[in-house]
Structure 1
Amino acid sequence: MPDEKIEDMGTHSDRAREALLDAAEELFARNGIDAVSNRRIVEHAGAANHSAIAYHFGGRDGLLRALVERHHDEMAERRRELSSQLSDSPNIHELVRCRLQPLIEVLDNLPRPSWRAQFMSQISAVPSAIEVATEVAREADLPDELRFINGEFEGIPESVLRGRAYLLGSMVVGVCADQEAKMNEDANKGSWEQVGRFLIDAAAGMLGAPVTDPNGAVRYPNVPLL
């Protein structure tokens, strides 16, 4: 009997934690990260204890970290699976698919309405959220094949690849956030499969585009939106 009570308490705690994450993700997506208080998140999650965020996550930064980690964890296994299927000499399109296809699949599997892409689009506007996202990305166990922007690839200098990757991250998140918002309003606004194919083709094309000035790459901060 005592073991059953402990298990029930653990299950209840897990559900409460997930409810807080879902509530925060929605409110951050709809209103912006800095515009939402911890108290409002707790109330939206239906919790009675106003210190629930401190209890489950240790505070605001812990909550943000848990949201970003959940996003990365849901993509990680699929990324490793796709990476294991790569040829010995993968091209840019194949590598981009490893990176973006799991993102599209995660967004497609979320219940409607969903807020994940819109939440991710809010991260770049808040320095503390950028810092958290950067830490999580650095700690992520990505397959070596996905680290292709560490050095020259197919004749494209690293500085150019990094600049293009930043632009692509912003583009992909922005397109996905816009698509998610439209699908929340109308279920007939296309499909994630269509969006994914378009973005993978576009991203691969941009990364592999000809380089006319290898020294003219624009320097962008490393903001890991994906």
Structure 2
Amino acid sequence: MTPSGGGGPSAVPLGRRSPCRDPFRRQGPLNRPLGRRGPVQATRSVVGSGVGAGVSGRWRGRKEARTKADLVRAVARRHAGHIEALRERALAAAGDSTDVRDWVDCLVRPVTEHLASLGSPTWYARFCAQVMTDPALHEIMVEESLASPALREAVERLNRTLGELPPEVRAERGQMVRLLILHTCAERERALAEGTPTPRATWDEVATGLADAIVGLWLAPVGTARRAANR
């Protein structure tokens, strides 16, 4: 995620280093729209503010597309370093465990610990949820995730503990896990920002609830053959 250099509308501040803990809190008017309205509308506001009326719509569209991708990469990378460090620590704590839950914790807790460290309100989880609904931006987020050695190791170690699952079941449950983590965190983040009640009091408790559900999901019996036999 390399933000464009130089001046103009593509030189957004999200890719720069800042002493503040949460890049959505104090880095200008773009931050809240990213989480609340998504990268598409937020990017249009950035491009629109920096592009004169005499510039063609075709150029504006290309500029918007580039800026949107740059924003997503910059934001994801801004948060990735801390999450990576937390996941490396979790991996070290898990050691040579053969317990599914230990490796599920390696997936879940670095995310919730990072969100907890940002204070409140934050917009990062909602930003990720928005981005993952856009096909092009989804690919960017997947690419950035695969660049994490700690995440790859956590997934590999988890797979070793799961026994033999049919490939289609493994893929399907992996998608379910991703969505469960993503949207549970986004929903809690929204509730905290709006001051509405949440099922869990802390992010640590959220991680426990997520791990409970995900372990159950991974270890659930595969019932396709039984259902087919009963038809």
The aligned length equals 191
Gaps of 5+ in 2: 1-15, 52-65
Runs of 4 or more above 6 Å deviation: 19-22
2:156 maps to which of 111, 135, 147: 147
Q: TM-score, normalised by structure 1?
A: 0.72
In the alignment, is residue 32 of structure 1 matched against residue 20 of structure 2?
Answer: no
Of the structure 1 ranges 100-109 and 85-94, higher mean CA displacement relative to structure 2 is found in: 85-94
On the 8 A contact 2:83/2:110 being kept in 1, the answer is: yes
When residues 86 and 205 of structure 1 are mapped into structure 2, their CA distance, relative to the original with a 3 A threshold, is same
Q: Distance in 2 between matches of 1:41 and 1:187?
A: 34
Which of 112, 120, 139 is the matching residue for 1:112? 120
Partner of 2:220: 209
Task: Name the residue aligned to 1:14.
Answer: 17
Question: Aligned-pair distance for 1:22?
Answer: 7.0
Pick from 160, 167, 178: which aligns with 1:169? 178
Letter of the structure 1 residue corresponding to residue 218 of structure 2:
L
Q: Residues 24 and 132 (structure 1 numbering): CA distance in 2 closer, same or farther, change over 3 Å?
A: farther
Alignment of 1:170-185 (within 5 A): 170-185=179-194
Q: Which residue number in structure 2 is paired with residue 70 of structure 1?
A: 78
* Aligned alpha-carbon RMSD (Å): 3.1
Task: Confirm or deny: 8 A CA contact 2:107 2:154 kept in the other structure.
Answer: no
Deviation at residue 89 of structure 1 after TM alignment: 4.0
- The corresponding residue for 2:13 is none
For residues 163 and 22 of structure 1, the distance between their equivalents in structure 2, rounded to whole angstroms, comes to 39
1:77-88 to structure 2, matched below 5 A, reads 77-88=85-96
Shift of 1:158: 3.6
Per-residue CA deviations over 1:108-127 (Å, capped at 9, x if unaligned) read: 11132111111111012212
2:100 to 76, 92, 98: 92
1:112 match: secondary structure: coil
Q: Distance in 2 between matches of 1:24 and 1:163?
A: 35
Following superposition, the deviation at residue 152 of structure 1 comes to 8.2
Deviates more, 1:26-35 or 1:199-208: 26-35
- Structure 1's unaligned 5+ residue stretches are 1-12, 44-49, 52-57, 217-226
Structure 1 residue identity aligned to 2:71: L
**1:23 and 1:140 mapped to 2: Cα distance?**
30
**Partners in 1 of 2:129 and 2:190 — Cα distance?**
12
Deviation of the 1:156 alpha carbon: 2.3
Question: Is the Cα–Cα contact under 8 Å of residues 112 and 204 in structure 2 kept in the other structure?
Answer: yes
For the residue of structure 2 that corresponds to 1:154, the secondary structure is: coil
